[in-house]
């Protein structure tokens, strides 16, 4: 990590290229992202738009460090310095996810036997001790931290209208919209420098969409930089400061 003064820009992508090699199709090359550049400042929300298959989710997966890049940089500016996510080690990516990046994927990856409450509370606990995840705490400290985290999650679940009868159950059997609200709670339960949202409202009714819009607006007001894919135009209009259209070469930004 390089140390430098903290700029208002949180995320800068420069000349990002990503292609997939289809080994089962005789090594066919599928170019998806070509020379994508963007920047997002604290408090802004950049919406990724464009037709299906143009690489919106692929770009998100590059930003969260799940996919490597073939060229270009993904610079995340943090108080600890600037990290190029495109060149970061797996360990650095995990540290960024614990401390700086929150990610709401379209579908929740449910962990068997862990209650909805604890799936979300874990995010708060790992933030409490980001340098030593899983470090042994004495029982009393662990229980009091866990109870405080669960209380924060209960408030958020109530706000997201998740029925209290579900809170202690593992989310594997929840409906699509219920799982999505657990996923949103997981992404938004603690402040992050960069919030990445892949269709966060796709399975929600109007009342719950409005709650999510409120939560995103609050995150922006706290200075979080947001990048999102929102198929729902009403949601996009309510939260996006700018749009980036993928599939136009080079990728173009538009302002409200
Ligand atoms: N892991 C992968 N391996 C091979 N090809 C992939 C992979 N992930 C995505 N692709 C291909 O990359 C292209 C872009 O996919 P992506 O999911 O990023 O599109 P999208 O813009 O998010 O579309 P949608 O609006 O339908 O969600 C598609 O042609 C897809 O088939
Ligand atoms: Mg997609």
Which DSSP category does 89 fall into? -
Report CA-CA distances (Å) from 43 to 88, 123, 147, 223: 25, 22, 31, 4
pLDDT value, residue 245? 94
Give the per-residue SS3 of 132-198: CCCCCCCHHHHHHHHHHHHHHHHHHHHHCCCCHHHCCCCHHHCCHHHHHHHHHHHHHCCCCCEEEEE
**CB 56 near ligand 1, within 6 Å:** yes
pLDDT value, residue 255? 58
Please report which ligand is nearest the Cα atom of 52.
1
**182-201 average pLDDT score:** 94
Q: Which atom of ligand 1 is nearest to the CA of 67?
A: 1
| Residues pairing with 20 in the sheet | 30
**145-157 average pLDDT score:** 95
pLDDT tens-digit readout, 163-179: 999 999 999 989 989 99
- Is the Cα torsion angle 128, 133, 74, 30 positive or negative in sign? negative
Distance, C-alpha 52 to centroid of its chain: 20
More confident residue, 111 or 250: 111
Cα(first)–Cα(last) distance of the chain, in Å?
A: 35
165 CB-contact burial (10 Å; exposed 0-12 / middle 13-18 / buried 19+): exposed
**β-strands 45-49, 225-229: how paired?**
parallel
Please report which ligand is nearest the Cα atom of 49.
1
98, pLDDT greater than 80: yes
In the chain, the percentage of residues whose pLDDT exceeds 90 is 72
235, pLDDT greater than 80: yes
Q: Which atom of ligand 1 is nearest to the CA of 55?
A: 18
pLDDT value, residue 108? 76
Q: Which atom of ligand 1 is nearest to the CA of 50?
A: 21
**β-strands 45-49, 194-198: how paired?**
unpaired
In the chain, the percentage of residues whose pLDDT exceeds 70 is 90
Q: How far is the CA of 108 from the centre of ligand 1 (A)?
A: 19
**43-70 average pLDDT score:** 94
91, pLDDT greater than 90: yes
28 pLDDT tier (thresholds 50, 70, 90): confident
Q: Which atom of ligand 1 is nearest to the CA of 51?
A: 25
225 CB-contact burial (10 Å; exposed 0-12 / middle 13-18 / buried 19+): buried
**223-247 average pLDDT score:** 95
This prediction has a pTM of 0.89
Contact 118, 193 (CB under 8 A): no
Domain coordinates in residue numbering, the chain = 44-68+98-255
Radius of gyration of the chain (CA): 19
Q: Which of 50, 56, 227 to mutate to test the pocket of ligand 1 (most atoms within 8 A of CB)?
A: 56
**143-149 average pLDDT score:** 90
Q: How far apart are CA 119 and CA 135, in angstroms?
A: 18
**CB 105 near ligand 1, within 6 Å:** no
pLDDT value, residue 121? 95
Q: Which residues contact 135 (CB under 8 A, 6 or more apart)?
A: 129
pLDDT value, residue 105? 85
pLDDT value, residue 254? 62
Contact 160, 184 (CB under 8 A): yes
pLDDT tens-digit readout, 108-144: 777 788 999 999 999 998 876 645 555 666 777 778 8
Third-level CATH fold of 44-68+98-255: Rossmann fold (3.40.50)
Q: Which of 31, 32, 59 to mutate to test the pocket of ligand 1 (most atoms within 8 A of CB)?
A: 32
3, pLDDT greater than 60: no
pLDDT value, residue 25? 78
CA angle 95, 99, 102 (to 5 degrees): 105
Which strand (E) or helix (H) includes residue 103? strand 101-104
């Amino acid at each position: 990590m390089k140390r430098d003064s903290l700029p208002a820009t949180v995320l800068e992508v420069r000349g990002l290229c990503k292609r997939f090699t289809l080994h089962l199709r005789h090594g066919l090359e599928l170019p998806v992202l070509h020379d994508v550049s963007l920047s997002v400042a604290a408090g802004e929300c950049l919406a990724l738009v464009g037709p299906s298959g143009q690489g919106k989710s692929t770009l998100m997966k590059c930003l969260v460090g799940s996919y490597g890049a073939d060229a270009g940089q993904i610079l995340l500016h943090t108080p600890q310095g600037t990290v190029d996510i495109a060149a970061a080690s797996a360990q650095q990516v995990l540290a960024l996810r614990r401390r700086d990046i929150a990610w709401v994927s379209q579908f929740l990856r449910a962990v068997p036997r862990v209650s909805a409450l604890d799936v979300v509370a874990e995010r708060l606990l790992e933030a409490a001790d980001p340098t030593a995840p899983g470090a042994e705490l004495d029982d009393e400290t662990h229980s009091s931290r866990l109870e405080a985290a669960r209380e924060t999650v209960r408030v958020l679940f109530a706000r997201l209208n998740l029925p209290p009868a579900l809170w202690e159950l593992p989310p594997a059997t929840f409906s699509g919209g219920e799982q999505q609200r657990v996923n949103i709670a997981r992404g938004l339960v603690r402040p992050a420098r960069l919030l990445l949202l892949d269709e966060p409202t796709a399975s929600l009714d109007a009342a719950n969409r409005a709650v999510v819009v409120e939560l995103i607006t609050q995150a922006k007001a706290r200075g979080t930089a947001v990048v999102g894919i929102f198929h729902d135009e009403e949601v996009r209009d309510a939260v996006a400061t700018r749009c980036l259209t993928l599939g136009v070469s080079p990728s173009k930004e538009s302002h409200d």
